[in-house]
Amino acid sequence: MKNTPKTKDLLIESAGELFADSGFEAVSTRMIADKAGVKLSAIHYHFGTKENLYSEACITSLQRSETISFAVILNENPGLMATPAGQAEIIRTQVFRSFHHFHRAGRPEWETKIILREIVNPTTAMERLVEESFKPDVESSMNFYQQINPGATDEEAAAWSDLLYGPLIFYKVAHQAIQMTRPNLPLDDAFFQTTATKLARAMILEAGLPLPADLQE
């Protein structure tokens, strides 16, 4: 069998959609092969096991995402760290970029759903996700907070970091319930712009930094 990226990518895409909708246990390799329109042996050839394919689908969903972290923003704009106003701008940039990316239109739905499933019901793929993505991002956020607040404990830095990650996950996991509760208030770009503004303001103030002029009430 020819080892072509096309077949491998097709399997990842098909598996990702099925796993995202039904979960790891409910999806068989036969279902994945049928959806991809390939022979069952292709899964074993490219991935070996269903577990490996699932893990690869999870990692792919993250790799296709824009890397957004305090470390990345600092690397792009190292001079911002020199002043409190610059530090506040780093926070504002991180919050707005995170909301724009995580809730942007056009992103394949399965890429978000499969990660949310893994967060709620971890499998063997979680260890790889933690090491390659979650842990570096959280450490980046905590390190930033402790740089501008040297006396902050790890618990305080973690709580501050969670101010960002909590809402990002909440609006995805509870999307349907929120829409049913507030049917006249869609979770659209305008809503997330307002949410990002409120969150950026709260995180900047909690960090003890001055608010940028456009975030002042």
Q: What is the pLDDT of residue 63?
A: 79
pLDDT at 66: 62
Give the pLDDT confidence score for residue 133 in this predicted structure.
86
Give the up-direction half-sphere exposure of residue 170: CA atoms within 13 A in the CB hemisphere.
Answer: 9
Structural domain boundaries in the chain: 5-62, 65-210
CATH of the domain spanning 65-210: 1.10.357
- Max Cα separation, the chain? 63
pLDDT at 65: 67
Euclidean distance between CA atoms 130 and 59, whole angstroms: 10
The per-residue pLDDT for 50 is 96
- For the segment(s) 5-62, the CATH number from 1.10.10.60, 3.90.1010.10, 1.10.10.10, 3.40.630.190 is 1.10.10.60
pLDDT at 53: 97
Q: Cβ(112)–Cβ(61) under 8 Å?
A: yes
Alpha-carbon distance 210 to 99, whole Å?
22
- CB-based contact 32:20 (threshold 8 Å): no
* Predicted pLDDT of residue 1: 43
Per-residue pLDDT of the chain (217 residues; tens, 9 = 90+): 444 558 999 999 999 999 999 999 999 999 999 999 999 999 999 999 999 999 999 999 887 766 678 988 999 999 999 999 999 999 999 999 988 888 776 778 898 899 989 998 999 899 999 998 889 999 999 999 999 999 999 999 999 999 998 998 898 889 889 999 999 999 888 999 999 999 999 999 999 999 998 888 7
φ, ψ of residue 120 to 5 degrees: the values are -75, -40
